[in-house]
Chains A and B, each alone.
Chain A
């Protein structure tokens, strides 16, 4: 049995009076591709932001690679307002900034592409290597880190070769067509040498053909990098095609999880997506 890489325990995220994610339990095992799906506003991206440290959860804990990386419980004003469950189960507060989490071995992409606009394709990927660099400002400024720098550049070359972007490596990132920008964002995330890759709607805004290419691409990445992937997606073809397991969120709550085949047959999932007729 493969090991658990990521585990969410009773994660609840409440904004004011709105519970965006309610008592979410989620496990990603090493080597898996897990998809998080759900209708718009179900709380998928919020869950992502909690995992990557952008938001501090209101309650719950996140375990990654055998260590607890995030934990929180309702505090201050939230104590009275808290509407979620498992109040009192957690006592610690552990909320690292996103960069720490990335260095711990997670890297993400964004729903709306966030590349560094004035940088070339090559530099975009190279900058992501910065978090793995061990040189101090002085050694970097006075070029005492030549070896490391050269190694990083070589790795980036190789990475760009694998993702098929080496022919455009000196172009500005924003001059690329949309599909390639998506690819570049994934390459950039891979450059941070993650164990877990988080993809936030990688196929958003893509036509069926591009989506198909992307599906193949994600499969390739998993093979080549032996990496675990958690993704949010709306394109069911993509999700059903590559996921090992699927979690379904609706109104912040987990309504189902299982293999693609199970999910496709699940009545609650179908209801959530298609809506339940009022007179039923």
Chain B
């Protein structure tokens, strides 16, 4: 029983962290039809920046600075690596995304010297607490609450603001939106900014749990979050969140069983099954191609 609760708790918190990354994937995909392979690495870099900033600054200054820098990184990546390829075939943009991911990972290896970095303990998040006889960190409880709050705020933004309306229009029809005078580039930038912001917050929560960061720390959580986004229906924010929680719980169940070697394999198996059975995911909209 206790074991079950502890697995469930860690699954929910993991799911929440994936949700924050998955939103970035799903929003970018919704607008640019691009799998932003570099998103997981932005998440990793945000974690590393926290390590280095907290070494020299008080946490109260380090956290906001880290978030700002991560957002800036997301913005710059879009402007430098994706914007010039706006009219290029989709394959080129995806290759560019893979290139950025490769660059960020190599940069991280260079800076850290390839050694795992210890994430700083964050007061309030790292402290222990006991729920139903299971001892865990505060972050486990904070994560789902924070996710719900952030998603609520994001939905408000998308449904009730001018920029939100522009985003919805662009995701519907890129070219028409452009013809209707929507400034595509600023919409896309905002999308990347929001995605990176959420990834930065996600990294705060995720690495408080896992503590050590290596240059490849971003790639697998990134892929899992992407799977979550597909599972929920790519382009749909609530879908990404639900998918992420499901993936998180599944992963933590499998990690607790004898089949832990297959936890990643299982995630991908889900992906392939979803793609083949219901490519639109749980909440996705059906798109038909015209001949």
Contact = CB atoms under 8 A, between A and B. Distances in A.
A54 B291 CA distance: 8
Interface in B249-291: 291
Chain B at the A interface: SS class: loop
A71 B187 CA distance: 47
Interface in A40-66: 49, 54
A54 B289 CA distance: 11
Contacts, number: 3
Contacts of B291: 49, 54, 110
A245 B291 CA distance: 27
Q: How large, as a class, is the contact surface on chain A?
A: under 10
Contacts of A49: 291
A49 B288 CA distance: 15
Interface residues of B, number: 1
A260 to B, nearest CB: 29
Nearest to A45: B291
B45 to A, nearest CB: 39
B129 to A, nearest CB: 50
Nearest to B288: A15
A40 B291 CA distance: 16
A110 B291 CA distance: 9
Interface in A101-140: 110
Contacts of A54: 291
Nearest to A52: B291
Interface string B200-241: 000000000000000000000000000000000000000000
A239 to B, nearest CB: 23
A218 B137 CA distance: 78
B216 to A, nearest CB: 38
A45 B70 CA distance: 51
A49 B289 CA distance: 13
Nearest to A98: B291
Contacts of A110: 291
Interface string A75-118: 00000000000000000000000000000000000100000000
A54 B288 CA distance: 13
Nearest to A15: B288
Nearest to A55: B291
A115 to B, nearest CB: 15
Nearest to A46: B291
Nearest to A114: B291
Nearest to A49: B291
Interface string A160-199: 0000000000000000000000000000000000000000
B134 to A, nearest CB: 46
Nearest to B291: A54
A48 to B, nearest CB: 9
B115 to A, nearest CB: 48
B175 to A, nearest CB: 16
B185 to A, nearest CB: 28
A49 B291 CA distance: 8
A183 B249 CA distance: 60
Nearest to A111: B291
3 contacts: A49-B291, A54-B291, A110-B291
3 nearest A-B residue pairs (beta carbon):
A54-B291, A49-B291, A110-B291
Interface of A: 49, 54, 110
